[in-house]
Amino acid sequence: MVEPSVARLDRHGRVVIPAAYRRALGLHEGDEVTVQLEDGSVRISTRAEAIKRAQELVTRRTAGTGRSLVDELLAERRAEAAHE
């Protein structure tokens, strides 16, 4: 676990993510991160973590419903192809 740290906002509104946090997250210069406002806090996540959370959200919403999003997508594509 990385200890809490203080970062300073510069005059351009930029914040440097402390080196220990970058190392813990495997971030390197040029990497993209997602930034989200959440309950009065700014949450910074790696792209991989953001994708993982999105996948988990979709899985939770469809789990136990008997729905297959893949089957639904394929059915939509077949219907569109049939109309062309």
| 14 — pLDDT class (breaks 50, 70, 90) | very high
Helices (H), 1-84: 19-25, 47-62, 69-83
Question: Model pTM greater than 0.85?
Answer: no
* 21-54 pLDDT per residue, tens: 999 999 999 999 999 999 999 999 998 898 998 8
Q: Are 46 and 31 in contact (CB under 8 A)?
A: yes
* pLDDT the model gives residue 67: 75
Say yes or no to pLDDT of 70 above 90. no
The pLDDT tens digits for 57-69 are 887 777 777 777 7
